[in-house]
Amino acid sequence: MTSQWKTKTAMTNAKRYATDENQPSGGAEELEKILLSNPDDSMTWVRLMAVHLHGGGVGRARAVAEKAIASINFRLEGQLLNVWSALFNLENLYGCDVTMDKTIERALKQNDQLKIYQRLAKIYVTSGKREKAEEIFEKMTKKFRLNKSVWIAHMRHLMEDNRHKEAQDVMKRSILSLPKKQHMEVISRLGQLEFQLGEAERGRTLFEGLIDVCPKRTDIWGIYLDCSAKSGRVDETRQIFRRVTSLSLSSKKMKNLFKRFVEFELEFGNDETVRNVKQQAMNYVESQTMM
């Protein structure tokens, strides 16, 4: 469970708390009592913010957030980030561009900038502000261009937005910025995203390019096989299995591949295809004993 999900859930639960007839009439007061003994608990601060928001007290909710930021131990980064996320959500829903920008500026000065940008991107995406999210992703890829997770997150955002060509462009830009040893992983991730969110054929093209360059990278073959099988392309997946099991690989890798091949045929094939794969595996074992 992510901290941001917890923050959003806490605010939702707090609204229920505020309207629950079985709860004490002084909901805010009860939460304040809890905070007296545990001022570092970000979720309680967030619940208190939500209680005030439910009553229309946007200003009071802001004041609670500010008090939380001042009260929580500065070493508890995660707890502080939860409060900043709640404050971002508040400004995103009830504030304006000016108040949001000022809040972001302060947060960037006081926290890990990458983590702030990542939370902002999620908030904008979740609230349907795709252009705002795109601005954040662009800032991240410029400021943290050596961080592959930033590029991958940007590609996912674009793929989820049905902007496949732009995702390809981001992948190409990432290759110009990232160390060469990370190129295959980024391309592989875009291939996976194409299978999941775009066109399986584009994903297949990306993986075929990878295995052309590094035909013995069984980790890439494995991801390719998973994506192809999950997309329902049974015949194509079977052909991929046949290709990889015909390579000259270590006996350990071949054993794992044949095991996966048999499992695939048990699920998607028939008695004949299962027998064929088992026979292929036996032939391989015999060929190894004769060497």
pLDDT tens digits, one per residue of 250-289 = 999 999 999 999 999 999 999 999 999 999 999 999 888 7
| Residue 206, in any domain of the structure | no
Pick from 78, 76, 104, 108: nearest CA to 89: 104
| Residue 205, in any domain of the structure | no
Question: Last residue of some domain: 62, 77, 110?
Answer: 110
pLDDT tens digits, one per residue of 67-114 = 999 999 999 999 999 999 999 999 999 999 999 999 999 999 999 999
| Three-class SS of 82-129 | HHHHHHHHHHHHHCCHHHHHHHHHHHHHHCCHHHHHHHHHHHHHHCCC
| Residue 12, in any domain of the structure | yes
Q: Is there a single domain that holds both residue 192 and residue 130?
A: yes
Q: Is there a single domain that holds both residue 172 and residue 241?
A: no
- Separation CA 244–CA 262 (nearest Å): 14
Q: Which CATH number do you get for residue 182?
A: 1.25.40.10
- To which residue do tokens 């795709």 refer? 130
Question: Last residue of some domain: 138, 166, 199?
Answer: 199
Q: Is there a single domain that holds both residue 30 and residue 104?
A: yes
Identify the pLDDT of residue 196: 97
**Residue 178 near residue 186, CB atoms below 8 Å:** yes
Question: Last residue of some domain: 95, 110, 125?
Answer: 110
Q: Work out the pLDDT band at 17, boundaries 50, 70, 90.
A: very low
**How many other CB atoms are found less than 10 A from the CB of residue 178?**
18
Q: Per this entry, what is the length of the chain?
A: 291
**Tokens coding 123:** 């908030």
Q: Is there a single domain that holds both residue 3 and residue 87?
A: yes
**Tokens coding 35:** 């905070």
- Which residues have C-beta within 8 Å of that of residue 19, sequence separation ≥ 6? 54
| Residue 4, in any domain of the structure | yes
- Separation CA 51–CA 86 (nearest Å): 13
Report DSSP letters for 162-228, one per residue: T-HHHHHHHHHHHHHHS-GGGHHHHHHHHHHHHHHHS-HHHHHHHHHHHHHH-TT-HHHHHHHHHHH
Q: Is there a single domain that holds both residue 194 and residue 119?
A: yes
Pick from 186, 20, 11, 31: nearest CA to 83: 11
Percentage of the chain modeled with pLDDT above 90: 86
- Which residues have C-beta within 8 Å of that of residue 69, sequence separation ≥ 6? 80, 83, 84, 87, 110
How many domains does the chain fold into? 3
Q: Is there a single domain that holds both residue 220 and residue 281?
A: yes
Identify the pLDDT of residue 8: 53
Q: Is there a single domain that holds both residue 72 and residue 124?
A: no
**Residue 7 near residue 89, CB atoms below 8 Å:** yes
Q: Is there a single domain that holds both residue 245 and residue 282?
A: yes
Q: Work out the pLDDT band at 56, boundaries 50, 70, 90.
A: confident
One-letter amino acid identity for 50? A
| Residue 207, in any domain of the structure | no
pLDDT tens digits, one per residue of 214-258 = 999 999 999 999 999 999 999 999 999 999 999 999 999 999 999
| Residue 204, in any domain of the structure | no
| CA dihedral sign, ordered 52, 53, 55, 60 | positive
Q: Is there a single domain that holds both residue 7 and residue 97?
A: yes
pTM, entire model: 0.85
Q: Is there a single domain that holds both residue 5 and residue 74?
A: yes
Range of the domain at 262: 214-291
| Residue 209, in any domain of the structure | no
Q: Is there a single domain that holds both residue 27 and residue 82?
A: yes
One-letter amino acid identity for 142? K
Q: Is there a single domain that holds both residue 97 and residue 33?
A: yes
